[in-house]
């Protein structure tokens, strides 16, 4: 490693977090093991078995559908207009301030509005839409087409929580709703963890660029490693060399145009085991743990 490499590796260590806030996993009552059901992406906020948060305190703020997948997916009556995986969430049209609007002189690749594989995440994390704003609720006939693009609280109010009081507020991750309890917080006893960091908003200038094209010229002698796969498909960095795209593989999405970095490139919203089945998940839903900047160095040659 020459001195330049050492300096830039140190710079990458400093930039260890993909975002503008403190690095490290947030404290959680979930075990982060075995299934998304035992992570904070379980919007019932109740761990599947043993321990975990009780969820009941949140009942007045979001519908408890008693089903983990349904906050994001449903087998029937899905958003059919765009290429999303059995997607059940309201996708509000939003114009984001992109990283390129920051105007750094070093960026060489074009940056577009976030692609589909970022919009999925932003449907909660931009704070515009409630976590319980879904198109198809459990049970037959509980489907509302207009929910595809716009949150309709009258429709959401038709749901009755069986495990606690009904929701009177359908909080997004907005100031004054979820954040009324979740900021600033200390995770002691029954108090709510501070999750202002999860509230990314619509200004993406302070995060690693998404919707950014991966350089087509890559490999030894360039600044980027070469992903597997062919141009025009989802390409990936095969971390275990088994020739298939596993959840622990960093990936580049091509939804038309070129292979791009999106939220799903670095994060798997279902969690990825650290060391085989039964182990705790890698922190922060990352596909590759960022210890020693391993995540960053999957793409960047530095
Ligand atoms: C280039 C990789 C990369 C991309 C792209 C990316 N992230 Fe991250 N994200 C990270 C890393 C690294 C962390 C910090 C993890 C840690 O330090 O434990 C992080 C942390 C987070 C956190 C938790 C905040 C914190 O500091 O703990 C949230 C929420 C998050 N990301 C959401 C998103 C969303 C939504 C997108 C798309 C808009 C996205 N990320 C795109 C790498 C990325
Ligand atoms: C009235 C206060 C209050 C409101 C409002 C609230 N929460 Fe909570 N939340 C809590 C408390 C207290 C805990 C931890 C206690 C427990 O349930 O064990 C918690 C825990 C959580 C957890 C588990 C965190 C973890 O990793 O351990 C999640 C996720 C969560 N809340 C999401 C939400 C969302 C999403 C909203 C908005 C729709 C929301 N909360 C609104 C009080 C609140
Ligand atoms: C918090 C939202 C969320 C929840 C809850 C969720 N998913 Fe997903 N799921 C996603 C997103 C986002 C993607 C697309 C990932 C990407 O962009 O590559 C996805 C993709 C998938 C895929 C296809 C790609 C893959 O990773 O295999 C399957 C299968 C899937 N989910 C199953 C489930 C099941 C089963 C559950 C419930 C146990 C569930 N998901 C719960 C967000 C969620
Ligand atoms: C259904 C709403 C929803 C969707 C969709 C969703 N999230 Fe989340 N996410 C949340 C909530 C609520 C939290 C909890 C905040 C907390 O407890 O700190 C959270 C927490 C996180 C965290 C913090 C985890 C930690 O332990 O520090 C990361 C990272 C994250 N989400 C990334 C993503 C990414 C990436 C996607 C898309 C692939 C995504 N989320 C999709 C609602 C959602
Ligand atoms: C999935 C691939 C991928 C991963 C993982 C990744 N990056 Fe990037 N990164 C890119 C691409 C593509 C660009 C745009 C390069 C360009 O425009 O020349 C970029 C740009 C950057 C830039 C330059 C921004 C500018 O304004 O010039 C920095 C700094 C950076 N990444 C740091 C990181 C760090 C730190 C990590 C780990 C948390 C990381 N990257 C992880 C693909 C990735």
Mutate-to-test residue for ligand 3 from 270, 284, 286, highest number of ligand atoms within 8 A of CB: 270
Ligand 3 nearest-atom number relative to CA 124: 1
Point out the residues of the chain with pLDDT beneath 70.
1-25, 77-82, 185-190
Q: Which two tokens stand for residue 193?
A: 């963890």
> Under DSSP, is residue 19 helix (H, G, I), strand (E, B) or coil?
strand
**Element housing 125 (H / E):** helix 116-125
pLDDT at 223: 96
Question: What 3-state DSSP class applies to 179?
Answer: helix
How remote is the CA of residue 43 from the centroid of ligand 2, in Å?
9
Q: What is the pTM of this model?
A: 0.93
CB count in 10 Å sphere of residue 144: 18
Confidence at residue 8, expressed as pLDDT on a 0 to 100 scale: 33
Closest ligand 2 atom, CA of 55?
Answer: 17
Question: Which atom of ligand 2 sits closest to the CA of residue 190?
Answer: 15
Residues contacting 140, CB < 8 A, separation 6+: none
What integer pLDDT is reported at residue 69 of this predicted model? 96
End-to-end CA distance of the chain: 10
Contact 234, 252 (CB under 8 A): yes
74 lines ligand 5 (CB under 6 A): no
* pLDDT for the residue 79: 65
Non-local (6+) Cβ contacts of 57 within 8 A are: 181, 190, 192
Confidence (pLDDT) at 81: 64
**In testing the pocket of ligand 4, which one of 28, 33, 36, 40 has its CB within 8 Å of the most ligand atoms?**
40
SS3 of residue 119 by DSSP:
helix
| CB of 46 sitting under 6 A from ligand 4 | no
Residues 16 and 32: their CA atoms lie apart, in Å, by: 21
**Cβ atoms 214, 224 nearer than 8 A:** yes
Which numbered atom of ligand 5 lies nearest the CA of 18? Answer: 38
Distance 18 CA to ligand 5 centre (A): 9
With beta carbons less than 8 A apart as the criterion, state whether 254 and 226 touch: no
How far out from the chain centre does Cα 79 lie? 19
- 62 pocket-lining for ligand 4 (C-beta < 6 Å): no
Residue 16, pLDDT score: 37
Short-list 194, 250, 271, CA closest to 21? 194
């Amino acid at each position: 490693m020459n001195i330049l490499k050492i300096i830039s590796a140190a710079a990458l260590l400093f930039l260890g977090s993909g975002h503008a806030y403190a690095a490290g996993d947030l404290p959680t009552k979930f075990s982060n093991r075995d299934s998304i059901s035992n992570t904070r992406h379980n919007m019932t906020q109740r761990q599947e078995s043993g321990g975990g948060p009780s969820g009941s305190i949140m009942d007045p703020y979001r519908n408890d559908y008693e089903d983990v997948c349904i906050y994001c997916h449903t087998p029937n009556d899905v958003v059919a207009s765009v290429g999303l995986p059995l997607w059940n969430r309201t996708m509000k049209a939003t114009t984001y301030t992109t990283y390129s609007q920051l105007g750094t002189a070093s960026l060489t690749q074009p940056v577009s509005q976030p692609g589909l594989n970022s919009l999925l995440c932003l449907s909660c994390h931009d704070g515009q839409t409630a976590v319980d704003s879904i198109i198809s609720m459990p049970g037959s006939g509980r489907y509302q087409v207009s929910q595809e693009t716009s949150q309709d609280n009258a429709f959401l109010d038709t749901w009755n929580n069986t495990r606690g009081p009904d929701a009177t507020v359908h909080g997004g991750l907005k100031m004054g709703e979820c954040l009324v309890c979740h900021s600033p917080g200390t995770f002691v006893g029954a108090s709510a963890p501070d999750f202002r960091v999860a509230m990314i908003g619509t200004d993406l200038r302070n995060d690693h660029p998404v919707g950014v094209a991966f350089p087509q010229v890559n490999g030894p002698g360039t600044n980027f490693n070469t992903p597997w796969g062919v141009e025009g498909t989802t390409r990936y960095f095969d971390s275990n060399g088994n020739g298939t795209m596993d959840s622990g593989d960093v990936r580049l999405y091509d939804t038309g145009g070129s292979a791009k970095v999106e939220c799903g490139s670095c994060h798997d919203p279902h969690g990825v085991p650290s060391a085989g089945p039964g182990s705790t998940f890698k922190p922060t839903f990352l596909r590759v743990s960022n210890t020693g900047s391993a995540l960053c160095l999957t793409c960047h040659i530095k």
